[in-house]
């Protein structure tokens, strides 16, 4: 693995982890009142497109980061709907 891929993987890990605190907070408080449903729907759509883009480029950092980010985004969307 070359250094460019390593930088990409580290960047992907850092940005992917950024949603985790929000997800945990929503789970613990059972509240999603401050989360915009439309924003997260658009966000998840964009992340899905990034996944497709990564697959088309066969780019591991893009694929991995966006799969994990998409999963977190979908969980947040689910919690938003559940905890209206």
**How many domains, in total, are found in the chain?**
1
CATH (domain of 52): 1.20.1280.290
% the chain with pLDDT above 70: 100
C-alpha closest to that of 7 among 66, 69, 61, 70: 61
**pLDDT score of 61 more than 90:** no
- Looking at residue 9, its pLDDT comes to 82
Q: How high is the pLDDT of residue 16? A: 87
Stretch 49-67: mean pLDDT: 93
Which pLDDT band, with edges at 50, 70 and 90, does 84 fall under?
Answer: confident
For 77, the domain range is: 3-82
Total-model pTM: 0.83
């Amino acid at each position: 693995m070359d250094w460019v891929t390593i930088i990409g993987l580290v960047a992907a890990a850092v940005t992917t982890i950024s949603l985790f605190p929000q997800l945990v907070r929503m789970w613990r408080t059972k509240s999603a009142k401050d989360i915009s449903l439309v924003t997260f729907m658009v966000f998840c759509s964009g992340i899905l497109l990034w996944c497709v883009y990564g697959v088309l480029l066969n780019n591991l950092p893009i694929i991995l980061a966006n799969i994990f980010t998409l999963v977190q985004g979908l969980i947040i969307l689910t919690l938003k709907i559940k905890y209206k």
